[in-house]
Amino acid sequence: MEMMAFLGLIPILLYLGILVFAIYVVITILKLMKQRNEYLKEIRDEIKKNNSVD
């Protein structure tokens, strides 16, 4: 009987694991996009600085 209760928890744990993984992926992608935007801002500022000197 205990085995059947445990087997009933497996799908719940599986869905919970998928949800946690999806949240992790979204957070990681957002961090990477933020870092990319910072790099692009630095490049933009450097180009503006070089253009204003000319």
Domain coverage including residue 40: 1-48
CB atoms near residue 50 (< 10 Å) = 9
pLDDT 10s digits, 1-54? 677 777 888 899 999 999 999 999 999 999 999 999 999 999 999 999 999 865
In a domain, 53, yes or no: no
Q: Is residue 10 part of a domain?
A: yes
pTM, rounded to two decimals: 0.71
Does the residue 54 lie in any domain? no
Give the model's pLDDT for residue 1: 62
Q: What is the number of domains present in the chain?
A: 1
Residue at 16: amino acid letter: L
